[in-house]
Chain A
Amino acid sequence: MKSGFSSDGSPVSRLVEAFHKLPGIGPKVAQRLTYHLLRAPVEEARALAEAILDVKEKIRLCSRCFNITDVDPCTFCEDEGRDRTIVCVVEKPLDLLAIERVGKYKGLYHVLHGALAPNEGVGPEGLKVRELLVRLQGSPVREVILATNTSLEGETTAMYLQRVLSPLGIRVTRLARGLPFGADLEYADDLTLSTAIEGRQPV
């Protein structure tokens, strides 16, 4: 590859290659990180290595909501203060954190770990869908909020979930879609604009 370094198997080139494999890290940055660590005190390097191992060895998925956690069930599922009659379905753990950051939602979560992408070979069996259905059976949950992305895959996932959830007799809602704050109407795409018009509110 045109990465500007040769792979000679030495510790330095092994580390450069390992960084280069990470998302968003090009060959230049991989080299910079490696040289930074070469000059850094050994404690800093050890702390980084241990943190990486800890993530792999101690972090797992919550057996109820499939969020990443170091305790099972996770703190959200165990929190007695949260409303157990409502579940918010998100694509990935980062989406859960985004909703938490706002602090408006006090129910439970369910992390799908992806969205339907039939043309990429991702069907419902590749997501935590069956787990959601099992979890909802005989549970006190009365509402499921579909908080998947507004991308085509996210919308497809939401339409699919609505189809499989409707026989359960649970209220299914979708996060409101419309114009983002700070947006110029002129740049809004047709789908955003039309859902925004449909979902208009009295002021």
Chain B
Amino acid sequence: MPQPRVYETEAVVIRKMNLGEADRLLTLYTSSLGKLRAVAKGVRRPRSKLGGNVELLTCSRLMLARGRNLDIITQSQSIDSFMAIKTDLQRTSWGLYVAELVDRFTPERQASRALFELLLKTLNRLAGDGAGETALRYFEIHLLELAGYRPQLSRCPGCNRELPLSCRLSFSPVAGGLLCMKCRAGEPEVISLSADAIRMLGRLQDSDGEDVLKTGLSQALNAEIGGVLQEYISYILEGRVRSAAWLRQLRNGV
């Protein structure tokens, strides 16, 4: 059976690029097809019917027509435009960081309902009054897991021995987890983590994050966990996350 020419999906716009005079090439993360790139025609004109529904960090129901190379967005209906994110510099910056990570961790056209839901959940948390930085840590940990890079926290990835509880250990981005004292000796690139940070990483990893988010992580803990996750992410992506540099700049008060 031939594929239908037109299809409908929910999508969050995670990246955009201007194309020609008035078009845009959008990278979407969709509920049914995963990441895909599509063209929004005429969208830079003020009277475009797609307009703000296909702006970055917007969730819309889209109608797409299969094209020869790229699919074309023909209709849009807004589901959530995350206004609370877009009217705040800090929240917008967090949201762009989330969008960049989803883009860089996912191959095209490989559906993951779980990742789509993680993306929406994170954007909703960033739009709410809760702890934004903590919501990012939750997102990072679960994105890593869904992408097949779950940080190993209970068993040493070097020797598979169970790790001691409540003591300072070293995280190895190369090994993808915490190393025991013995395995750590041969590893030059490790990051030391406090027992508190390790416990909190575990709690975020094995829960829906609601209880942690209610109180939010302390600034010190957030910096410690954020730092190690950022190293791990950069190692996997073989490069820095562009918007992470901007988040650092904002933290230091631009």
A residues engaging B (CB < 8 A)? 23-24, 116, 118-121, 123-124, 151-153, 155-156, 159-160, 163-164, 180, 182-184, 187-192, 194
Contacts and interface: CB of A to CB of B under 8 A. Distances in A.
Contacts of A152: 55-57, 86, 92
B55 A119 contact: no
B185 interface: no
Interface footprint category on B: 20 to 34
Main secondary structure of the interface of A (DSSP, over half): helix
A121 B241 CA distance: 9
A151 B96 contact: no
Contact of B89 (A23, A159, A190, A192): A159
Given A23-B20, A123-B245, A183-B47, A189 B52 contact: yes
B26 to A, nearest CB: 12
Contacts of A24: 20-21
Main secondary structure of the interface of B (DSSP, over half): helix
Given A118-B97, A119-B15, A163-B89, A190 B78 contact: yes
A190 B21 CA distance: 25
A118 B47 contact: no
A59 B21 CA distance: 23
A192 B20 contact: no
A15 B25 CA distance: 27
Contacts of A163: 89, 254
Contact of A191 (B81, B92, B246): B81
Given A118-B243, A119-B243, A188 B92 contact: no
6 contacts: A116-B246, A118-B245, A118-B247, A155-B87, A182-B47, A183-B46
B242 interface: yes
B92 A189 contact: no
Contact of A190 (B83, B88, B254): B83
Interface in B17-54: 20-21, 46-47, 49, 51-53
Contact of A164 (B15, B88, B97, B254): B254
6 nearest interchain CB pairs?
Answer: A189-B52, A118-B246, A180-B46, A159-B89, A118-B243, A119-B100
B99 interface: yes
Nearest to A26: B20
B93 interface: yes
Given A119-B15, A194-B83, A180 B55 contact: no
B213 to A, nearest CB: 24
Point out which of A118, A156, A192 has the most chain B C-beta atoms below 10 A from its C-beta.
Answer: A118
B246 A123 contact: yes
Given A152-B57, A159-B89, A189 B78 contact: yes
B99 A160 contact: no
A194 B20 CA distance: 30
A191 B86 contact: yes
B215 interface: no
A189 B57 CA distance: 13
A203 to B, nearest CB: 22
B249 to A, nearest CB: 7
B96 A119 contact: yes
A123 B93 CA distance: 11
Contacts of A187: 49, 51
Contacts of B100: 119
Contacts of B57: 152
Interface string B170-206: 0000000000000000000000000000000000000
A119 B83 CA distance: 19
Given A152-B92, A182-B47, 5 more contacts: A23-B20, A118-B245, A152-B56, A180-B46, A190-B78
B178 to A, nearest CB: 30
A136 B65 CA distance: 50
